Amino acid sequence: MKNIQLFVPTFDIDECLKEIRECLEKGWTGLGYKTIEFENQWKEYTGLPHAHYLNSNTIGLQLAVKIFKEENKWSDGDEIISTPLTFVSTNHAILYEGLKPVFADVDDSLCLDPDSVLHRITPKTRAVMYVGMGGNTGRLNDIADICRSKKLKFILDAAHMAGTRFNGKHIGYNADCTIFSYQAVKNLPSADSGMICFTDGELDKIVRMYSWLGINKDTYARTTGMNKGEYKWYYDVSYVGLKAHGNSVIASLCIAQLKHLDRDNARRREISALYDSRFQNNPSIRLIRMATGCESSRHLYQIAVDQILRDPLISYLNEKNIFPGVHYRTNTDYKMYSYAKGTCPKAEKYSTEIISLPLHMKLTDDEVNYVADQVIEYMSKNNTGA
Ligand SMILES: *Cc1c(COP(=O)(O)O)cnc(C)c1O
């Protein structure tokens, strides 16, 4: 029996190599060229007005917080409301910039609960950081409304959301900044890279400088009237920026992958629907609530089971050559976020109950059914009725 892994990225190898070959032939592997080509394709695909290609989503989250902080004169210790049920990048980005993550609880979509967010707003709250878990929008639009009415910035960690649409429209349209990930096992895998999409064009200009050490190539030419090409080294440095931009070799993979993203996501939804149909009337297996109107990228397929059985179920599946995952442990279990332990009971409970089942383009329906059979069999033998 072959192993059934959680994630297996699939590449159109010929298409990837064709794009990379163009970089090598041109002698251009760095910033520009394919990074700009992919930025333009991403804007076209998502309908978002701006897109800047970075070497990761994590650095994009940090740049979003950094630039909002500087431009809006936030102070150290100001608060950003965030979810404890996420990859640590989401919350580390807040700490990197000297702000404080204040955790709100999740609802049954595993995304932030708008009512809990409202309760966590204080005079120091500056923004909400939202994660669309597994590609699910949850109640993203309600949170966007709260941000608008309370004058908070809305930062969307869309690491799982490449290709997620809500009522037919690609997500990101109502956030102040949306950050995507093309990390090696995401639903649009490259090797490592990400995209930051500010709604405000001025902030897009700033992040382009910030992601390349703060270098401002425009000012010298503008202030002296000299030809930029002749005096390239006379650039100004406007910020103490980071080295965070993406490169043309990795952008080549993104360009090749974007061509089949919608087809891949459709297959992901088909696999998820098959799992749903197998589990839906099983009293010991809970499905995660999918928002109405959401066409999810389905980066993840998650279920929840009695917490006593969760880890033993994973061990049992491992014996059957199935290798699921858990997304995620509540961040309040980690020492830097432990100050908030107990403040988000639902997230803490889900953290002990959820399992992500194998979901990728190489899975056959037979394999999905085999995974479902094993889960159902284990639960029927061991269910305590809880
Ligand atoms: C993967 C992930 C990130 C980090 O993305 P990178 O591109 O690896 O930096 C951030 N947030 C969430 C929710 C993720 O799953």
Among candidate residues 258, 281, 311, the one where a domain is terminated: 258
- Indicate if the alpha-carbon torsion angle 288, 297, 32, 227 is positive or negative: negative
The chain-wide mean pLDDT, for the chain, equals: 96
Query: How large a percentage of the chain has pLDDT more than 70?
Result: 96
Indicate if 199 and 211 belong to the same structural domain.
yes
What tokens were used for 250? Answer: 């990795």
pLDDT band at 221 (very low <50, low <70, confident <90, very high): low
Residue 234 has pLDDT above 90, yes or no: no
pLDDT digit string, tens, across residues 273-283: 999 999 999 99
Query: Residue 183 CA: which ligand 1 atom is closest?
Result: 7
pLDDT value at residue 225: 61
Q: Examine residue 229 and state whether it is found in any structural domain, yes or no.
A: yes
Does the pLDDT of residue 385 top 80, yes or no? no
Supply 224's token pair.
């002296």
Helix (H/G/I), strand (E/B), else coil: 369: helix
Say if residue 108 is in the same domain as residue 246. Answer: yes
How confident is residue 177, by pLDDT bands cut at 50, 70 and 90?
A: very high
Q: Which of 226, 258, 290 is the C-terminal boundary of a domain?
A: 258
pLDDT reported for residue 219: 61
- Phi, psi for residue 130 in degrees, rounded to 5: -120, 140
Flag whether pLDDT at 59 surpasses 90: yes
Nearest CA to ligand 1 atom 5: 57
Q: What is the pLDDT of residues 344-384, one digit of tens each?
A: 999 999 999 999 999 999 999 999 999 999 999 999 999 76
Q: Are residues 240 and 278 in the same domain?
A: no
Q: Please say if the pLDDT value at position 131 is more than 80.
A: yes
Q: Do both 200 and 339 map to the same domain?
A: no
Mean pLDDT, range 287-292, rounded to an integer:
96
Residue 2 lies in a domain: no
Q: What's the pLDDT band for 217 if we cut at 50, 70, 90?
A: confident
Residue 81's pLDDT is: 99
17-46 average pLDDT score: 97
Question: Does residue 249 lie in a domain region?
Answer: yes
**Nearest Cα residue to 207 out of 219, 198, 194, 220:** 198
Structural domain span for residue 196: 13-258
Q: Give a yes or no: residue 5 inside a domain.
A: no
Residues 171 and 270 in one domain: no
Does residue 172 share a domain with residue 64? yes
Substitution site in 7, 55, 58, 130 for ligand 1 pocket (most atoms within 8 Å of beta carbon): 58
CATH number for the domain harbouring residue 246: 3.40.640.10
- Domain end among 258, 277, 310: 258
Rounded Cα distance, 128 and 322, in Å: 37
Query: Which residues approach ligand 1 with their CB closer than 6 A?
Result: 56-58, 86-87, 89-90, 131, 157, 159-160, 181, 183, 194
Q: Is the domain of 154 the same as that of 284?
A: no
Structure tokens at 88: 């640590």
120 with 199, same domain: the answer is yes
CATH of the domain at 307: 3.90.1150.10
- How many angstroms separate the alpha carbon of residue 87 from the centre of ligand 1? 6
Is 133 part of a structural domain of the chain? yes
Give the Å distance between the CA of 281 and the centre of ligand 1: 33
How many structural domains is the chain composed of?
Answer: 2
Q: What is the DSSP string of 199-257?
A: SSHHHHHHHHHHTBTTEESSHHHHHH---TTTTGGG-EE-S---B-B--HHHHHHHHHH
Question: What pLDDT is stored for residue 363 in this prediction?
Answer: 98
Q: So what's the pLDDT on residue 229?
A: 63
Residue 386 has pLDDT above 60, yes or no: no
For residue 226, the one-letter residue type is M
CA dihedral (360, 363, 365, 371) in degrees, to 10, reads: -90
- Residue 134: the pLDDT is 98
Confidence grade of residue 330 (pLDDT, cut at 50, 70, 90): very high
Query: For ligand 1, atom 1, which residue shows the shortest CA distance?
Result: 159
270 and 226 in one domain? Answer: no
Mutate-to-test residue for ligand 1 from 181, 299, 331, highest number of ligand atoms within 8 A of CB: 181
Backbone φ and ψ for 189, nearest 5 degrees, come out as -80, 140
CA gap 198, 214 in Å, rounded: 17
Q: What is the mean pLDDT of residues 244-248?
A: 98
The reported pLDDT for the residue numbered 16 is 98
331 vs 307: CA distance, rounded Å? 18
Same-domain pairing of 244 and 199: yes
89, 178, 180, 186, best to mutate for ligand 1 pocket (most atoms within 8 Å of CB): 89
With respect to residue 4, please indicate whether it lies within any of the assigned structural domains: no
How far apart, in whole angstroms, are the C-alpha atoms of residue 121 and residue 42?
33
**Residue 288 located in a structural domain:** yes
pLDDT at 233 (0 to 100): 77
pTM (predicted TM-score)? 0.96
> Percent of the chain having pLDDT more than 90?
94
The answer to whether residues 34 and 82 belong to one domain is yes
**Residue 190 within a domain:** yes
Among the listed residues 170, 165, 197, 169, the one whose alpha carbon sits nearest the alpha carbon of residue 181: 197
User: Are 212 and 100 members of one domain?
Assistant: yes
In the reported structure, the alpha carbon of residue 217 is separated from the centroid of ligand 1 by a whole-number distance in angstroms of 30
Per-residue pLDDT at 228 exceeds 80: no
